[in-house]
Structure 1
Amino acid sequence: MSRSWSPRPRRRYAPQPPRSLWRRLFDYCLTIVLLGLLILLAARLDRFETREAAGAAIVNDGDSITLGATRIRMRGIDAPEYQQTCRRDGADYACGKLARQSLVQLIGGRPVSCSGWQQDRYGRLLGDCKAGGVDLNRAQVEAGWAVAYGDFEAEEAGARAGKAGIWAGTFDEPQDWRDAHGRGLVERKHGTLASIGDALREFFRFR
């Protein structure tokens, strides 16, 4: 049986009518708005540029150092304040000074490098710091001379279980001690949620 074949009719394309004046104006405005948003985005992203500092460290206390002209608050940890005391074996001891001494020993006279993009309420760089390949933020918590403050919770759990550093006795959380002694502003934690909040504030800050 033979099949009959017939060519498909060609579809005719009618030319598109020219866009109206208002449509052209809308397209131009939309293009300008999108271009402006791209420029704004590029300018805002500069605010998240990572800052780096390196050199010989001046150790201020158990979680803050100075590198040259850059003051650095170590991110994600909170050490006892320098004047803070804790209690062990029924007696008070200078845990703040021992926390500073621990950081000095971890650095061991080696150059320190820190990086970060956030700042704390005092304008200090919130930094992740290393000395000779040692992660100083993590090591301070592991040694029991700083508590987790938005990060390093697993390291804190290990120090607590091993009764390392301040975990060998009792102590006030450093933030609670600062509050009780009128030492500065309440400091928010430095974890992931805080970083997201900081990023949003920086992006929408118009100054």
Structure 2
Amino acid sequence: MRWLLLLWLLDLTSISPTPINDDSWIGRAEIVDGDTIRINGSRLRLLDIDAFEMAQNCQDAEGRDYACGLEAMLALDGLIGKQDVRCYGRERDRYRRPLVKCWVGQTEINARMVQQGWALAEYATTYQVDEAVAQRAKVGAWAGTFERPRQWRRRR
């Protein structure tokens, strides 16, 4: 009988509204930009990465401008699709958004955005190796030139 009760309780956790507690969110994600998502109304910022801003342009290998902020958002949307996202994090940024690491299946979204060249390793050393690999491979924005999002925001 205990096993049935335990299984029933475990099943209920899969349909719990998010956040499950103060530091975890699970559910379908709405993409806000290249490093911000919303799960059931909670706006979540991906920890230790900085994606290009929605209004930001970069230059391709031929020096032509393109909307790298939009490309970052589309890359995040492509990673997540219609799958449920699991996010965990205890810290908050200066805007009070939870700072989270997120996964779709076994894929860590934060790392993959840096690996694909649509976000940069910022605020910690967590993804510096991923950034260096993306830079050497010239993937994403690394295929051309850009201003780091942090610097771009400062100028505006």
Normalised by the shorter chain, which TM-score bucket?
A: 0.7 to 0.9
Q: Which amino acid aligns with 1:77?
A: I
Instruction: Give me the whole-angstrom Cα distance separating, in 2, the residues matched to 1:163 and 1:103.
Output: 18
Aligned to 2:26: 54
Match of 1:56, SS state, is strand
Contact 1:143–1:164 (CA under 8 A) maintained in structure 2:
yes
Contact 1:143–1:159 (CA under 8 A) maintained in structure 2:
yes
Contact 1:50–1:115 (CA under 8 A) maintained in structure 2:
no
Higher relative contact order (CA 8 A, sep 6+): 2
Aligned to 2:93: 120
Q: Residues 169-200 of structure 1: CA distance to partner in whole angstroms, max 9, x if unpaired?
A: 1101000011111xxxxxxxxxxxxxxxxxxx
**What runs of 5+ residues in structure 1 fail to find an aligned partner?**
1-48, 182-207
Compute the TM-score of the two structures, normalised by the length of structure 2: 0.83
Greater strand content = 2
Aligned to 2:54: 82
- CA displacement at 1:133 relative to structure 2: 1.6
Q: Which amino acid aligns with 1:117?
A: R
Instruction: Give me the whole-angstrom Cα distance separating, in 2, the residues matched to 1:112 and 1:76.
Output: 18
Greater helix content = 1
Aligned to 2:133: 158
Q: Which amino acid aligns with 2:78?
A: Q
Q: Which amino acid aligns with 1:96?
A: G
Q: Which amino acid aligns with 2:23?
A: R
Instruction: Give me the whole-angstrom Cα distance separating, in 2, the residues matched to 1:51 and 1:69.
Output: 15
Match of 1:98, SS state, is helix
**What runs of 5+ residues in structure 2 fail to find an aligned partner?**
1-20
Match of 1:112, SS state, is strand
Instruction: Give me the whole-angstrom Cα distance separating, in 1, the residues matched to 2:68 and 2:75.
Output: 10
Taking only the aligned residue pairs, the percentage that are identical comes to: 41
Q: Which amino acid aligns with 2:82?
A: G
Q: How many residues align?
A: 133
Match of 1:155, SS state, is helix
Instruction: Give me the whole-angstrom Cα distance separating, in 2, the residues matched to 1:75 and 1:100.
Output: 16
Instruction: Give me the whole-angstrom Cα distance separating, in 2, the residues matched to 1:112 and 1:55.
Output: 5
Instruction: Give me the whole-angstrom Cα distance separating, in 2, the residues matched to 1:87 and 1:155.
Output: 21
Q: Residues 70-91 of structure 1: CA distance to partner in whole angstroms, max 9, x if unpaired?
A: 1110001000001110011121
Asked if residue 170 in structure 1 is aligned to residue 114 in structure 2, the reply is: no
